[in-house]
Chain A
């Protein structure tokens, strides 16, 4: 039986080899104008801390935090409706509208926002396209399906009888939400929030197209360095940073969910 894992292990080994190459190159000296590299160095990681890149890191963290907060607020009502609607057609409608963007590729979804934010539909009172505001809208839209699904899963695990019990004890709908539904859905909020935060940290197509080169997040710096400047070692160092941040956060998610389970 164990041998059945072998093909998957081969696939994962290739994947691991790619990440190992990334790690190795992040430690190699960059020789400008060539794809040859020098000896081992930590210079690439010091380069990450250069002022123009620090801005990108700061923007990334701020945008990720805002995206997480806004996505939580926007996804919660939809997730609640999805988990609690008694009508199968309504549930299907919400699910299809939620999943369709999830399944529509990043380029299609981001391009749609280029049209909407680019004063095609309405003229915005403040500039939206190629601003952090616009990127934020795109990121929230991008994160919504994931968050809705995670929250809806958490909410559908809460037996509605708790809400009925709270109502029978005299709690108004708002108080039922505050004292029962919200605390019981906390595991979903925490894991959904952390997952969205981690994903947004390494978001690429949204800031690339909606930021128009004016808004840079970590992933955009990786692409600029790697594909435009052919500075693979520098790009690799940045990519390692994104990888480390993501893995650290997801480890926290694992800890939190495991802690709740016991």
Chain B
């Protein structure tokens, strides 16, 4: 009974993905399932459509910039959160994680108004700043878990063996934080690449990232191009999640809170 229910529910979660991939190989512009034949023309369309090319570059710039900033910032914050003598540690933690709970439309419209006031509407600066804020909680949380599991005795041992604080950080602390850093990086990249609501408000045809370009395309066209692009996203995501589960043991990351 339970097994059947679980299989059906997992199917409910997975079937749309399968449909997207199947439709992406459809030879005609009319959506049909199962596909009437096999064709790669929509993949070709994805690669050659100029707006997607532009958006892909934007995505790389925005995600690359945001992650490059958020990873060190979040790591330092996680270290401070666990190690510094802080008053109201739980308040600090809540504040650092707060961008997670702000509705996308509120943050998006807020950044839009802020950017307009600063005259930054045409640049990617606001987009990157918003993405940094949105991925920061994921970095802080992942790294924080690693910091908490770090035995301070190991750092004291390094110091007793003659390592300077900086050398201790480089040779002991940082290597031990690697799983948390890696998980944080993974989350940050995935969240930023897929961010849509906030980005919709603060990007235009020149700066828009892939999810926004896809949204515009879906609203205006019905051919399976988006199915092809979605399939690429899906396959990439599955590979990343599978690798992460293999090397990070996601069960430990997600079930121990």
Contact = CB atoms under 8 A, between A and B. Distances in A.
A101 to B, nearest CB: 6
Q: Is the interface of B mostly helix, strand, loop or mixed?
A: helix
A18 B136 CA distance: 16
Range of interface residues on chain B?
35 or more
Given A1-B83, A246-B102, A18 B197 contact: no
A240 interface: yes
B103 A246 contact: yes
Nearest to A239: B106
B235 to A, nearest CB: 10
A8 B190 contact: no
A107 B195 CA distance: 9
A100 B238 CA distance: 6
B31 A120 contact: yes
Contacts of B226: 111
A40 B233 CA distance: 46
Interface stretch (B155-163, B177-185, B247-255): B247-255
B153 interface: no
Contact of A21 (B117, B130, B133): B117
B55 to A, nearest CB: 12
Interface string A107-119: 1110111111010
A99 B13 CA distance: 10
Nearest to B74: A8
19 contacts: A1-B79, A1-B80, A8-B136, A11-B129, A18-B107, A94-B6, A95-B250, A97-B10, A99-B250, A104-B237, A105-B233, A112-B19, A198-B101, A201-B103, A205-B197, A218-B105, A219-B104, A226-B201, A232-B109
Given A7-B72, A108-B20, A116-B15, 9 more contacts: A2-B86, A21-B117, A77-B5, A77-B6, A83-B255, A98-B10, A99-B250, A99-B254, A226-B109
Interface of A: 1-5, 7-8, 11-12, 14-15, 17-22, 25, 35, 74-75, 77-78, 80-83, 91-92, 94-101, 103-109, 111-116, 118, 120-121, 141, 144-145, 149, 152-153, 156, 198, 201-202, 204-205, 209, 218-219, 222-223, 226-227, 232, 235-236, 239-240, 242-243, 246-247, 250, 254
Interface of B: 2-3, 5-6, 9-10, 12-17, 19-20, 23, 31-33, 69-70, 72-74, 76-77, 79-81, 83-86, 92, 94-96, 98-99, 101-107, 109-114, 116-117, 129-130, 132-133, 136, 140, 190, 193-197, 200-201, 211, 214-215, 218-219, 226-227, 230, 233-234, 237-238, 240-242, 245, 250-251, 254-257
